[in-house]
Structure 1
Amino acid sequence: MDRSALTLEWQVLQNQFDSYEKCSLFIKLFNVGILTLALANEALGVSVVAIIFVIWLQDAIWKTYQSRIDGRLQLVEQGLAMDGEAFSTNESEPTTVIACQYNRAFAEQRPSLIGLIREYGCQACRPTVAFPHAVLVVLAVFCL
């Protein structure tokens, strides 16, 4: 295990993970702005509710990408903690973490189209993603 390469990978992935969190917050704020503008201009309709749902889904997709980074971060951290020793991530064989294998690992575990849609839906239902989108939908429907 190349500890310096894993350390560098961890730093890059952690910065990217934090960046995704900031962008998710901006997506949420943008959605709040959409509803606020629609209410202020008395332009609330089914199309605005649809836009709120689309932005909610976009946030879920964004958070799905972030969760993939989190999975790799967890693996890299485990590798750094074990300091070169093999460890087990499941019931099968011991694993040694090789640096800079983020895309390869994802490609090997990429879900099918249905699995990908399911993954987006699960992310959309997480409380940290659903808020404030669900509140905006309820408010928009209530104000129709």
Structure 2
Amino acid sequence: MNKTELAPQHSQWLNLHDSIEKYEQWALIIKLTALITCVMTFIFNLAAIFTVVFIALFWLQEAIWKTYQARLIKAITDLESQLNTSNELLISPLYSQWQANRGGTLALIAEYLESSLKPTVMLPYLPLIIISLFA
């Protein structure tokens, strides 16, 4: 069964899911651009304030993208709820299950801190901070 053969709600779910994944890809591109920009400010011997401002701007841009992504996640969980109510859910309620398993504020902060220590997350930011402090 391809996308065109799916019910409109299922096609909408797939489109929302694809969009959410694309926002995640763009967040990675923003991180890589921040890294490249940081390196370039050091190569051209620009003042540290430029590096900090550039990193802050990229951080803000990623926050904007993540806000858009969060709105799409809200839309997809609402759609999953509608499909579940109408007994038409043929797709796993991925986002609804994720929301249901999400902890409270302190648990979420602890989870974020734990995630921030993973090498794939820490890699772009920790070296940029260290370089900025010692350059």
- TM-score of the two chains, using structure 2 as the length reference: 0.62
Equivalent position amino acid for 2:130 in 1: L
Matching residue of 2:41: 38
Equivalent residues of 2:51, 2:132 under 8 A apart:
no
Contact 1:35 1:140 in 2 (8 A): no
* Aligned amino acid, residue 38 of structure 1: T
1:27 & 1:37 partners in 2: Cα distance?
Answer: 15
Give 2:126's aligned residue: 135
Contact 1:49 1:137 in 2 (8 A): no
Q: Give the direction of change, closer, same or farther, for the CA distance of 1:26–1:136 in structure 2 (3 Å limit).
A: same
CA contact (8 A) 2:32 2:124 kept: no
Cα RMSD (Å) of the superposition? Answer: 2.9
Letter aligned with residue 83 of structure 1: S
User: Any conservation in 1 of the 2:34–2:58 contact (CA below 8 Å)?
Assistant: yes
Contact 2:38 2:54 in 1 (8 A): no
Give the unaligned 5+ runs of structure 2. 1-5, 89-111
Query: Which structure 2 residues correspond to residues 1-144 of structure 1 after superposition, within 5 A?
Result: 4-83=7-86, 134-135=125-126, 138-144=129-135
- The answer to whether the Cα contact below 8 Å between 2:20 and 2:69 also exists between their aligned partners in 1 is yes
Amino acid at match of 1:49: V
* Count of matched residue pairs: 103
Percent identity between matched residues is 24
1:65–1:131 Cα change, 3 Å: farther
Q: Deviations over 1:51-99 (max 9, x none)?
A: 11011011001100000000111111122222259xxxxxxxxxxxxxx
AA partner of residue 143 (structure 1): F
Contact 1:53 1:133 in 2 (8 A): no
Q: Which amino acid aligns with 2:129?
A: V
Q: Which residue of 2 aligns with 1:96?
A: none
Greater share of helix residues, 1 or 2? 2
Contact 1:17 1:70 in 2 (8 A): yes
In the TM superposition, what is the alpha-carbon distance from 1:143 to its structure 2 partner?
2.7
**What amino acid is the match of 2:126?**
V
Secondary structure of 1:42's match?
Answer: coil
User: Larger RCO: Structure 1 or Structure 2 (Cα < 8 Å, ≥ 6 residues apart)?
Assistant: 1
